[in-house]
Amino acid sequence: MDEQNSSGHVNTQIASVVSTPLDFRVERPDFGWPFPEFAMLPLDLSVLDAAIHKFVPDAVYQIDEWADPASQAVRHVRIREEL
């Protein structure tokens, strides 16, 4: 268990937002973000950024996206803490 407001705690909160599709939690349908399946490329990560800002307002991070070398249709997204 991470100490509240520690780097690990914030990263866990961000991971929770990133891995939860919008409308998945019955008790909190606004939590998460609409997954970008079949989205146009490059991905519009402003929706993900807005969800993280909404649910983890103290997080300071950078989002990067890039194509997989084997297939431009496969995208990688990395969210890393800014120190």
Is pTM, for the whole model, over 0.85?
A: no
Contact 8, 2 (CB under 8 A): yes
Proportion of the chain in helix, strand, coil states, percent, rounded to 5? 25, 25, 50
Structural domain boundaries in the chain: 7-81
pLDDT digits over 7-55, tens only?
A: 888 899 999 999 999 999 999 999 999 988 777 777 889 999 999 999 9
Cβ atoms within 10 Å of 20's Cβ, excluding its own: 17
CATH architecture of 7-81: Roll (3.10)
Greater model confidence, 1 or 24: 24
Q: Is the pLDDT of residue 1 over 70?
A: no
Contact 63, 49 (CB under 8 A): yes
